[in-house]
Amino acid sequence: MSISYKPVIGLEIDAQLQTNSKIFASDPVLFGQEANTLISPISLGHPGTLPKLNKKVLEYAIKMGLAIGSTIAPKQYFDRKNYFYPDLPKGYQITQDKTPICIGGSILVHLKEGDKKMEFHHIHLEEDAGKSLHEGDNPFSFLDYNRAGTPLIEMVTEPSIHSSEEAFALVSEVRKLVRYLGICDGNMEEGSLRADVNVSIRPVGTSTLGTKVEIKNMNSLRNIQRAIEYEIVRQTKVLNEGGSLIQETRTFDAHAGTTHSMRIKETMNDYRYFPEPDLAPLEISASWLTEIKSTMPLLPWEQEQKLIKEFSLPAYDAHFLADTREMALYFEEATQHSKAYKSISNWLMGPVKSHLNEKNQSITDFELSPKALAEIVELVEKGTLTHNLAAHQLFPLAIENPGKSASQIVEEQGWLHAQSGDEILLWVQEAIAAYPDKVKEYQKGKKGLIALFIGEVMKKSKGTADPKRVNQLMSEELAKV
Ligand code: ADP
């Protein structure tokens, strides 16, 4: 008989902090530079060098802690985690084992079945390692130490995530939050945000945690989800076939969609943690904490509430617009130039989003300024242009001609004229004159033929006429014939 199991997942999410320099040295923190150009005796761990803590790192970690409601530890110290690996030149990593900077905290995530509070165990500080590079058939491995000493916060969740969707939602939310806080660019492809994923299963109705496996260094949301799904199926199969699971580290093969064992617990390192003797213990003063609190930006959920309250937007719109701070700010700036808040939101969720998706751009790359978009919105609001004309003709032209205002384009295209009753009436009369037979049929009762006449006028106007107006004039004129 097969038993039903409940998945249990815990994440360790690493975020590289966007500081100018490394956590314990003045080497710059930059991605994609030539190998071994951002290094110094300190980040290479040369004998006799001493680490010096970058204060910005503490500030950024505290910001994250405050955002998720953690307790900020007033006193902390760093620990040495000892292990040998070629990308770790010192032979140990400086981390916080016993005294993490932030304790507890939670984030609310939106799931199909409702909102769920995801709990964090703690957030600690540590330094990133360098990178080993293996190139094709080359028998040598290469080492790039540019990343060594990049500041990281590791956000460790409680083992209270129960599906791959929940894990996906949580990492997405963390990514959104670090970007709002401006502490990490959240770029998963570049490894700025990545996660170790711990997965176990336990029989439904029991509470003892099962044996977990840890899948290291996942740097895509989709792969986190796939790896968890694969593990749940694999572990269920092992247990249902009477086997047992072992605590191990596994890697995910994105190509095959499977995980495979890297090392088992017995051969795992004993890190021999001890307090880092080269760094003094830390004390976070209450006054500094107050100062950091005063510099906190609006958080994603606060931004969402603001959009709902201040601009009367539906929750759906607010959620969409607050997905990035830049989009929310774009919206807010556009409202300085048009009070049609819901229409601006519709434009951003519709034509603007499609355009950005098509071009693979973000709102910060968008060609139209908030003011320029608001001008288009207003032209429709005031009835100068139909939405159709604005969205399908004016919008692309405005993007192609960033130097021209919307009203300038409207003028040049002669659309104002085309929208006037006189011109439409002329086209209506021409359409009626062109189809005398159809007019007779219409008069005999085939009222559906009005669509043909309207279509004719729309063609003549190249789609610029307001269909409502055409319909009205057409009915009036056909009644006169
Ligand atoms: P370890 O000592 O092996 O590093 P921790 O207790 O420190 O384990 O937890 C590390 C991460 O693993 C946390 O995110 C935690 O939620 C998760 N975790 C711990 N036990 C389990 C389990 N049985 N199943 C799934 N995740 C777990």
Per residue in 220-235, pLDDT (tens digit) is: 999 999 999 999 999 9
Cβ-based burial of 445 (10 A; exposed 0-12, middle 13-18, buried ≥19): exposed
Give 3-state DSSP helix, strand, coil % of the chain, rounded to 5: 40, 20, 35
For tokens 């005398």, the residue is: 436
8-20 per-position pLDDT tens digit: 999 999 999 999 9
Pairing of strands 274-275, 79-82: antiparallel
Parts of the chain with a pLDDT under 50:
none
User: How many angstroms is it from 430 CA to the middle of ligand 1?
Assistant: 77
Output the CA 247–ligand 1 centroid distance in Å: 11
Q: What's the CA gap between 193 and 170, in Å, rounded?
A: 13
Tally of CA atoms within 13 A in the half-sphere of 284 that contains its CB: 25
CB 309 within 8 A of CB 341: no
- Give residue 360's region: left, alpha or beta (phi > 0; psi -120 to 50): left
At 223 the pLDDT is 97
* Cα of 162 from ligand 1 centre, angstroms: 13
d(CA 408, CA 96): 61
CA of 201 to the centre of ligand 1 (A): 12
Q: Shortest CA distance to 217 belongs to which of 14, 16, 61, 7? A: 14
Residue from 198, 207, 264, 266 to probe ligand 1 pocket by mutation (most atoms less than 8 Å from CB): 198
Closest C-alpha among 319, 328, 66 to residue 169: 319
- One-letter amino acid of 339: K
- Nearest-CA residue for atom 19 of ligand 1: 159
Q: Are 95 and 127 in contact (CB under 8 A)?
A: yes
Q: What separation in Å is there between the alpha carbon of 228 and the centre of ligand 1?
A: 14
Alpha carbon separation from 417 to 380, 384, 423 (Å, rounded): 15, 10, 7
In the structure encoding, which two tokens stand for residue 9, read together? Answer: 């997942």
pLDDT value of position 1: 61
Asked whether 162 and 8 are in contact (CB, 8 A), the reply is yes
User: What pLDDT does 463 receive?
Assistant: 76
Residues at CB less than 6 angstroms from ligand 1: 8-12, 156-159, 198-200, 209-210, 212
Q: Which atom of ligand 1 is nearest to the CA of 211?
A: 23
pTM of the model: 0.88
What single DSSP character describes residue 2?
A: P
- Whose alpha carbon is nearest atom 11 of ligand 1? 10
Nearest CA to ligand 1 atom 13: 10
User: From ligand 1's centre to the CA of 213, what distance in Å?
Assistant: 9
Which pLDDT belongs to residue 154?
98
Atom of ligand 1 nearest to the CA of 12: 14
pLDDT in the model for residue 69: 98
Ligand 1 centroid to Cα of residue 198, in Å, is: 6
Q: Which ligand 1 atom is at minimum distance from the Cα of 200?
A: 24
Q: Are 171 and 15 in contact (CB under 8 A)?
A: no
Helix (H) or strand (E) holding 266, with range, is: none
Task: Say what the pLDDT of residue 466 is.
Answer: 78
